């Protein structure tokens, strides 16, 4: 078995004294692991860093084997990421989010969106908007997507202001008014009904954070990524 | 059924030596044979030294260094305390490397690793709280973050910087750039870019 692809490094793990198990997000084969022989050598030190893009060739006798990677650098952005706290936290968070996906299951849109966020030095508002949409898509790809197309109570498709924390469906302003304290606010930019204001970002991350916590982190008994809070605080209140 | 090399004691010795870094079963057998051949001149003193080290080695209660006393020799040195320079390293091996470099009279703090979500290592697993307490006393004038130039190392550095921000202490980090003996053609573009950004004026030194 052999194939070649490009990919984004989302994790590295030491294996023995010389090798490294590399976790790569590829556009067409999803999250894929492989062994890099000599991966702990100086030659690979700058290449095998999370956030870098690489060209990989995977080889194994059987498809279900871990297999070995031959790695070549494509875009080494880790050094630039390290220079900026915000971009470093973003890179760590994106890697953690992508590691939630099942192995060898393609999620090309998530891959492309992650690359776009890493490569574009956007202002906090633009980046926050992209990250909130990325988290919505992540929930969707994991099978826990939110239905933000129409009101769960009345069926109307306009003036959607809330999301039910139970059904994950949108609720209109009128229908949700009596239950506002129990519903999650829905920022308009998530439904494409307006641009994001700085205050909207906090609400958007509260919304995605709630469903990530309930369906993913708690269900899998893992802690929420610490970098998420650090990054959000920098996006919501830029220093 | 595996072939026996010698008695159970020798087999156990080979198995234990094979667990040391850099040694596998084959090199462990060679080392064992070498020890057996030099039983009086090497094996006995080595066994005695190991036994003494097991009893004497302590982890310093202040910095996390290993020594035979706690606080360790570095923390107990009053000249180092006067300087107020605290170098934060990931591991004891890094502390030894800094000492070998002869950087001068500094105190150290061993974190015990870096933040690594993949391995489940969070801030509570590292000695970051102890570092904050040391800085809180006001005896430290500058904290040098000498963590590895990896994504995980730098994330840890940024996290520590955030934690130390309320105390107003000067936080610096090691420079990133061209290593001695490094050929530009072989350096990755990220390192080269950082080296160019952190360029210094040449020929300023009065040498």
Sorted by where each begins, the domain ranges of chain B are 8-56, 66-201
Mutate to test the interface with A, among B164, B188, B191, B194 (most CBs of A within 10 A): B188
Q: Hey, what CATH class is A2-79 in?
A: mainly beta
CA–CA dist B177, B149 (Å, integer): 10
Measured between beta carbons, which residues in chain A are less than 8 angstroms from residue B189?
76, 79
| d(CA A2, nearest CA chain B) in Å | 27
pLDDT digits (tens, 9 = 90+) for B5-46: 678 899 999 999 999 988 989 999 999 999 999 999 999 999
Across the interface, whether the CB atoms of B188 and A13 are under 8 A apart is answered: no
* Residue B27 near chain A (CB below 8 Å): no
pLDDT of B154: 92
pLDDT of B4: 62
**CB within 8 Å of chain A, chain B residues 110-129:** 115, 117-119, 122-123
- B119 vs A50, higher pLDDT: A50
Across the interface, whether the CB atoms of B117 and A80 are under 8 A apart is answered: no
CA–CA dist A173, A27 (Å, integer): 39
Confidence of residue B206 (pLDDT cuts 50, 70, 90): low
pLDDT of B121: 85
* Residue B190 near chain A (CB below 8 Å): yes
Across the interface, whether the CB atoms of B190 and A225 are under 8 A apart is answered: no
Whether B90 has a pLDDT exceeding 70, the answer reads yes
Q: What is the mean pLDDT of residues A213-231?
A: 92
Q: CB pairs below 8 Å between A and B: how many? A: 66
pLDDT of B204: 62
Mutate to test the interface with B, among A82, A83, A237 (most CBs of B within 10 A): A82
Measured between beta carbons, which residues in chain A are less than 8 angstroms from residue B154?
82, 88
Written as six digits, the tokens of A105 are 């299951």
Mutate to test the interface with A, among B20, B21, B90, B117 (most CBs of A within 10 A): B117
What would the CATH number be for the domain defined by B66-201? 3.40.1360.10
A145-154, A213-222, B114-123: which range is least confident on average? B114-123
pLDDT of A175: 93
pLDDT of A9: 97
pLDDT of B1: 43
Whether B118 has a pLDDT exceeding 80, the answer reads no
Q: pLDDT above 70 covers what percent of chain B?
A: 96
**CB within 8 Å of chain A, chain B residues 134-163:** 149-152, 154-155, 158-159, 161-162
Cis check for the bond before A36: say yes or no (omega within 30 of 0).
no
Nearest to B158 among A50, A77, A88 (CB): A88
pTM for this prediction: 0.85
pLDDT of A238: 63
Among chain A residues, CA nearest to B155: A88
Note the CATH architecture for domain B8-56: Orthogonal Bundle (1.10)
SS3 sequence, chain A? CEEEEEEEEEEEEEECCCEEEEEEEECCCEEEEEEECCCCCHHHHCCCCCCCEEEEEEECCCCCCCCEEEEEEEECCHHHHHHCHHHHHHHHHHHHHHCCCCECCCCHHHHHHHHHHHHCCCCHHHHHHHHHHHHHHHHHHCCCCCECCCCCCCCCCCCEEEECCCCCEEEEHHHHHHHCCCCEECCHHHHCCCCCCHHHHHHHHHHHHHHHHHHHHCCCCCCCCHHHHHHHHHHHCCC
Cα atoms in the 13 Å half-sphere on the side-chain side of B136: 7
What one-character DSSP code corresponds to residue B179? Answer: P
Mutate to test the interface with A, among B118, B145, B159 (most CBs of A within 10 A): B118
Nearest to B193 among A13, A73, A80 (CB): A80
Q: What is the mean pLDDT of residues A63-70?
A: 95
pLDDT of B207: 55
- A83 vs A179, higher pLDDT: A179
pLDDT of A239: 55
- B117 vs B179, higher pLDDT: B179
Mean pLDDT of chain A: 92
Confidence of residue A84 (pLDDT cuts 50, 70, 90): confident
């Amino acid at each position: 078995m052999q194939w070649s692809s490009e990919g984004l490094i989302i994790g590295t793990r030491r294996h023995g004294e010389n090798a490294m198990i590399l976790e790569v997000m590829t556009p067409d084969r999803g999250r894929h692991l492989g062994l890099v022989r000599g991966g702990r050598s100086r030659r690979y030190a700058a290449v095998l860093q999370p956030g870098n893009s690489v060209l990989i060739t995977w080889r194994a006798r059987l498809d279900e084997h871990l297999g070995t990677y031959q790695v070549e650098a494509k875009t080494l952005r880790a050094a630039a990421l390290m220079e900026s706290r915000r971009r470093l936290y973003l890179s760590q968070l994106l890697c953690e989010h992508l590691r939630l996906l099942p192995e060898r299951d393609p999620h090309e849109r998530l891959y492309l969106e992650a690359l776009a966020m890493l490569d574009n030095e956007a202002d906090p508002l633009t980046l926050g908007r992209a990250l909130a949409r990325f988290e919505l898509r992540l929930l969707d790809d994991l099978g826990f997507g939110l239905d933000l197309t129409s009101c769960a109570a009345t069926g109307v498709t306009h003036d959607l202001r809330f999301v039910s924390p139970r059904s994950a469906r949108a609720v209109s302003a009128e229908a949700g008014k009596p239950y506002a304290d129990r519903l999650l606010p829905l920022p308009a930019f998530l439904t494409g009904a307006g641009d994001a204001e700085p205050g909207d970002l906090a609400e958007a991350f509260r919304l995605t954070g709630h469903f990530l916590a309930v369906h993913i982190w708690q269900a899998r008994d893992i802690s929420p990524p610490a970098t998420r809070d650090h990054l959000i605080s920098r996006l919501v209140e830029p220093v | 059924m595996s072939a026996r090399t010698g008695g159970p004691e020798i087999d156990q010795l080979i198995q234990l030596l094979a667990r040391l870094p850099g040694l596998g079963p084959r090199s462990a057998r060679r080392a064992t044979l070498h020890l057996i051949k030099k039983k009086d001149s090497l094996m006995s003193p080595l066994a005695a030294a190991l036994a003494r080290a097991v009893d004497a080695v302590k982890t310093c209660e202040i910095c996390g260094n290993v020594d035979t006393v706690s606080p360790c020799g570095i923390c107990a040195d009053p000249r180092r305390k006067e300087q107020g320079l605290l170098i934060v390293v990931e591991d004891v091996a890094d502390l030894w490397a800094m000492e070998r470099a002869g950087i001068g009279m500094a105190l150290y703090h061993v974190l015990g690793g870096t933040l690594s979500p993949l391995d489940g290592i969070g801030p509570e697993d590292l000695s970051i709280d102890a570092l904050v307490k040391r800085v809180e006393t006001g005896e430290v004038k500058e904290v040098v973050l000498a963590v590895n130039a990896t994504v995980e190392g730098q994330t840890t550095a940024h996290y520590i910087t955030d934690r130390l921000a309320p105390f107003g202490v000067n936080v610096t980090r090691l420079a990133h750039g061209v290593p001695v003996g490094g050929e530009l053609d072989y350096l990755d573009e990220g390192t080269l870019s950082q080296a160019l950004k952190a360029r210094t004026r040449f020929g300023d030194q009065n040498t």
